[in-house]
Each structure stands twice: as C-alpha cells, then as structure tokens.
C-alpha cells in the first residue's frame, strides 16, 4: 500500500504526474478542491460548513480541511493507497495529517521558478478547451482544433505566476524541510524533459 503526498510549485507538473500515478497503480488521486466540491454538491454537514466560509470569501480553516480530508481517506477506494495533491499546504496541516494518516512517501516535483514562468507564460488556451504553447504555434495563435484565436489566461501571465510562486515559497516550500527531516521525502527533477521521463523517475521512487 502506498499513501503518497505530492509536493511541487504551481506549473511544475504535479497534477499531470498525479494522474499518471493514479492510473498506473489504480489508486485515487485526491485533491482538496475535489473534496470541497463533492461535499458541497452532496450537501454534507462538512460541505455546508466549508461553503459558508467560501461564500464569505474566507479561507476554509485548517481544522475543517483536516476533517474533510480524514473523511475522504476513510472511504473504501482509498484503502489500498492514495495520492494527496494540494494537501498539506502548511506545516500545521502536515502535522495534523500525521495524526490521521500514515504517509509512505512524499514526492517533491522540482522545477526552477524561471522555467515555470516561461512554461506557463507561453501556455495558450482556447474557448473549445484546447491548450497549446507559443513554442509550438510560433506567431500564429490559431487553435489547431477549432480555428479560433487562442489566448493566455490571466493567471498564467508572468506577474500573476510570480505572485503564485511567492505564496508557494512562503507557505508550502517549508514542507520540503519538514518531510526531509522525517526522512520519507524524495525529490524528482522535472527538468529532465518529457512528462514520460519525469514519470520514469516517479516510478523508480514508488517501486
């Protein structure tokens, strides 16, 4: 059984690797966003409480996030392992998680911030759902799928990406030190090239 925590800055490819791990090892990919949406949609007591904070424009308190995560980890599909993506985000959350879960390994997907800014800043999206990159389309911003003009999302613009990375550095990067001291963290170098090459590293860690 593998209970995995994935760390990595926004744009480092964490979500992509989580999906590959989930498929390869047939374990659920668990993100706090999905947990929130499911509980709110189903109208659970925890979901109603989370919604009250979200509707008020406030952060959901750590204690409630932990309760939601703990409830999700008790479900049948997580009994043979799981991947936590986007949680924990802070030392306080990590300490609380340690009380309700036995984490086998923490994988830190590492990519230099400048590479992330370049990668996200060049990402193009289309109203039809297609995504591409300026390096692939050159001067043309025409969607290869539907022919419409593609654009850079607001949260992918360099100044926005830098702000997101600063928040990550301040809040989440200390987790690398926290798990490093516990001895169950492995760093995966995401500069090696393709998604497949990064995944080969991940598989070596898990096997």
Q: Which residues belong to the active site?
A: 14, 89, 123, 153, 164
- DSSP label at residue 154: G
Dihedral pair phi/psi, residue 28, rounded to 5°: -70, 145
Determine the Cα–Cα distance for residues 117 and 158; give it in Å rounded to an integer: 6
Could you count the other beta carbons within 10 Å of the beta carbon of residue 119? 17
CB 46, CB 39: distance < 8 Å: yes
> Which residues in 10-47 are b (16+ Cβ under 10 Å) and which e?
bbbbbbebbebbbeebebbbbbbeebbeebbeeeeebb
- C-beta of residue 97 within 8 angstroms of C-beta of residue 18: no
Phi, psi (rounded to 5 degrees) for 126: -130, 155
């Amino acid at each position: 059984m593998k209970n995995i925590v994935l760390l990595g800055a926004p744009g480092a490819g964490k979500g992509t690797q989580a999906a590959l791990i989930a498929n390869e090892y047939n374990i659920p990919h668990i993100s706090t966003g999905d947990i929130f949406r499911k509980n709110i949609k189903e109208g659970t007591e925890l979901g109603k409480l989370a919604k009250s904070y979200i509707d008020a424009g406030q952060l959901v308190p750590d204690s409630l996030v932990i309760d939601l995560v703990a409830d999700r980890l008790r479900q049948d599909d997580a009994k043979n392992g799981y991947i936590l993506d986007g949680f924990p985000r802070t030392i306080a959350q990590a300490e609380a998680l340690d009380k309700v879960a036995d984490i086998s390994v923490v994988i830190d997907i590492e990519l230099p911030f400048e590479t992330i800014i370049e990668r996200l800043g060049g990402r193009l999206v289309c109203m039809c759902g297609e995504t591409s990159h300026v390096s692939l389309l050159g001067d043309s911003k025409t969607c290869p799928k539907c022919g419409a003009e593609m654009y850079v999302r607001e949260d992918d613009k360099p100044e926005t990406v830098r702000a997101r990375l600063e928040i990550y550095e301040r809040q989440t990067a200390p987790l690398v030190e926290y798990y490093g001291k516990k001895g169950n963290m492995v760093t995966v170098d995401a500069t090696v090239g393709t998604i497949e090459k990064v995944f080969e590293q991940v598989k070596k860690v898990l096997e």
